[in-house]
Amino acid sequence: MTTTPAEQAAMRRALSLAATPGVPLGPNPRVGCVLLADDGTEIAEGFHRGAGTPHAEVAALTEAGDAARGATAVVTLEPCNHTGRTGPCVEALIAAGVRRVVFAQRDPNPVAAGGAAALQEAGIEVEAGVMATVARGVNRAWTFAVEHQRPFVTWKFATTLDGRSAAADGTSRWISGTDARRDTHTLRAECDVLLVGTGTVLIDNPQFNVRDELDQPVEHQPLRAVMGEREVPADSRIFDAPGEALRLQTRDPAEALKQLYAAGRQHVWLEGGPTLAAAFLKAGLVDEIYAYVAPTFLGAGANAVGDLGITTINDQLRWHLKRAGVIGTGADATVRLTLEPAKAGL
């Protein structure tokens, strides 16, 4: 069984729908669905708009009405086969009389998996794995979280050319340029948790939110989490609205991630100080790094990362440079490095 050009075009459209900007992040994956008639023309489309809302398949079926009978459903993720806040999409597709289902990524969640088999048992043709790699990219953090039972962790830091994240007097605003700070907010918005340590709250008292190009807080804010055993003032700015804030009374990165995963969170943006960064690195719990390197020197002050216990060059933590780019111009320019863990043997 193979896909038709119309089904491939529909999958590209479904992937675009799944990645629709502005959809609140949450415990559910991003999913798009396109319904096709026998002649390959589009009947309806839909996408998941956040936890508690109709799934993509149901949204498309609702739009199609009776026209869904005999149609082909092109979906970015294997239709779910369980009841959560909404009913199983498999049952909705069967009830609507869909003839064929083409999907991209198999559902890695054992609770929701099994949709393909259930559809086939109902006599519906199923084609799996179409543009699966692209679909995994759309749900990169969600897929990782389900497969590893913990959130994906992105560590961001800004540093001078000599590796300093703050001056000798503790000041750190602003090492990176204006354009780099705007870039940071764009990337923060892709996460559902912003995590710092108690030290950062006590020293910097940050708002730690996501702001738009006008420097105003966006409508849907990630959860702001403060990790550590020290007490922080209840009137700290990190607890201000909009959005929610959470205290994690632990210094253990694994325990913090366990609590966040239990709360349905998938992607942690780590932006604490050098001590917190070192703890996550030593625990092997950093999955991606954004390093903003400014063309400046301090000569003294806090390092970007704390003591990792490394005493010889052979034990260095080596990372793979995924991409590099310059943000801003002139003295305001900053180099952004995107890094991922080096693969074994490299």
Partnered with residue 325 across adjacent β-strands are: 336
Active site residues: 57
Average of per-residue pLDDT across 6-30: 90
Cβ atoms of 157 and 38 within 8 Å: the answer is: no
Domains and CATH numbers, the chain: 5-139 (3.40.140.10), 149-341 (3.40.430.10)
* CA gap 296, 69 in Å, rounded: 64
Residue 77 is predicted with a pLDDT of: 96
Residue 1 is predicted with a pLDDT of: 59
* CA gap 94, 119 in Å, rounded: 7
Residues 160-180: pLDDT tens digits? 999 888 888 777 777 787 889
Partnered with residue 309 across adjacent β-strands are: none
- Is the pTM of the predicted complex or chain greater than 0.85? yes
* CA gap 138, 15 in Å, rounded: 8
For residue 263, give every residue at least 6 positions away whose Cβ sits within 8 Å of its Cβ, in sequence order, or none. 223, 246
* CA gap 60, 57 in Å, rounded: 5
